[in-house]
Structure 1
Amino acid sequence: MSKTFTPAEVASHKTPDQGLYIIVDNSVFDVTKFVDEHPGGAKILKRVAGKDASKQFWKYHNESVLKKYSPKLKIGEVKDAAKL
Structure 2
Amino acid sequence: MSQTFSPADVATHNTADKGLYIIVDTNVYDVTNFVDEHPGGAKILKRVAGKDASKQFWKYHNESVLKKYSPKLKIGEVKDAAKL
TM-score scaled by structure 1?
A: 0.95
State the number of aligned residues: 83
Counterpart of 2:30 in structure 1 is: 30
Match of 1:80, SS?
coil
Task: Give runs of ≥4 in structure 1 deviating > 4 Å.
Answer: none
Amino acid at match of 2:74: K
The AA in structure 2 aligned to 1:17 is D
SS of corresponding position for 1:35:
coil
| Matches of 1:82 and 1:54, distance apart in 2 | 18
Aligned twin of 2:64: 64
Sequence identity (%): 87
5+ long unaligned stretches in structure 2: none
AA aligned opposite 2:55: K
The letter of the residue matching 1:3 is Q
- Taking the aligned partners of 2:82 and 2:42, their CA distance within structure 1 comes to 34
Equivalent-residue separation in structure 1 for 2:81 and 2:48 (angstroms): 21
5+ residue gaps, structure 1: none
Cα distance in 2 for partners of 1:11, 1:18 equals 10
CA RMSD of aligned residues (A): 1.0
- Counterpart of 2:75 in structure 1 is 75
